Amino acid sequence: MEFKKPRGTTDWYGSNLNKLNEIKLKLQNLAINFGFQEIVTPTFENLNLFKKSIGEVTDIAQKELYIFQDKKERWMALRPEGTSSVVRAYVEEKLFANKNNASKFFYILNLFRYERPQNGRLREFHQFGVEYLNVTNHLYDIECILLGNKIIEFFGLQKNVQLKINYLGNFVQRQEWMNKLKNYFDQYKDQLSDDSKNRLSTNPLRILDDKIDSKKDFVINAPKLNKFLNENDKKIFEDILNGLSTNNINYVIDHNLVRGLDYYTGIVFEFVYINSNSKIESTIIGGGRYSDLIKQTGGPNEIGLGFAMGLERLLIALEDINYNFQTNKTPEIVIGASSYESSLAALHYMNILRDNNIFVVMDFGNYKKDKNVKYAIKNKANYFIFIEDKDICNPKLNVENMINHNKELLTIDELLTRINK
Ligand code: HAM
DSSP string computed for 86-102: HHHHHHHTT----TTS-
Protein residue closest via CA to atom 17 of ligand 1: 121
**What integer pLDDT is reported at residue 260 of this predicted model?**
87
Our mutation pick for probing the ligand 1 site, out of 283, 292, 303, counting the most ligand atoms within 8 A of Cβ, is 283
Tell whether ligand 1 has an atom less than 6 A from the beta carbon of residue 304: no
pLDDT for residue 329:
85
Residues 360, 363, 365, 368, CA torsion sign? negative
With contact defined as beta carbons under 8 Å apart, do 166 and 268 qualify? Answer: yes
For the Cβ of 209 lying below 6 angstroms from any atom of ligand 1, the answer is: no
Query: In 89-224, which ranges are E strands?
Result: 103-112, 124-133, 161-167
**Cα(198) to centroid of ligand 1, in Å?**
24
pLDDT for the residue numbered 74: 97
202 C-alpha vs ligand 1 centroid, how far in Å? 23
Assess whether the C-beta atom of 258 lies below 6 angstroms from ligand 1: no
Minimal-distance CA residue to ligand 1 atom 11: 310
- Rounded Cα gap, residues 306 and 63, in angstroms: 24
Q: Which amino acid is at 385?
A: I
Q: What is the CA radius of gyration of the chain?
A: 28
Q: Is the dihedral of CA 88, 94, 97, 100 positive or negative?
A: positive
How much distance in Å is there from the Cα of 285 to the middle of ligand 1? 7
Residue 129 Cα: closest atom of ligand 1: 30
Is any atom of ligand 1 closer than 6 Å to the C-beta of 265?
A: no
- Ligand 1 centre from 354 Cα, in Å? 41
* Residue 100 pLDDT: 79
C-alpha 302 – ligand 1 centre gap (Å): 23
State how far the Cα of 299 lies from the Cα of 94, in Å rounded to an integer.
Answer: 9
pLDDT per residue as tens, the chain (421 positions) = 799 999 999 999 999 999 999 999 999 999 999 999 999 999 999 999 999 999 888 888 889 999 999 999 999 999 999 999 999 999 999 998 777 789 999 999 999 999 999 999 999 999 999 999 999 899 999 999 999 999 999 999 999 999 999 999 888 898 899 899 999 999 999 999 988 998 888 889 889 888 889 889 999 999 998 888 999 999 999 999 999 999 999 999 999 899 989 899 999 999 999 999 999 999 999 999 999 999 999 999 999 999 999 999 999 999 999 999 987 789 999 999 999 999 999 999 999 999 999 999 999 999 999 999 999 999 999 999 999 999 999 999 999 999 999 999 999 999 999 998 7
Alpha-carbon span 261 to 147, nearest angstrom:
21
Sort strands 124-133 and 103-112 into parallel, antiparallel or unpaired.
antiparallel
- pLDDT value at residue 16: 95
pLDDT at residue 85, as a whole number: 98
Nearest-angstrom CA–CA distance, 296 and 292: 6
320 residue type, one letter? D
Output the residue whose Cα is nearest ligand 1's atom 16. 121
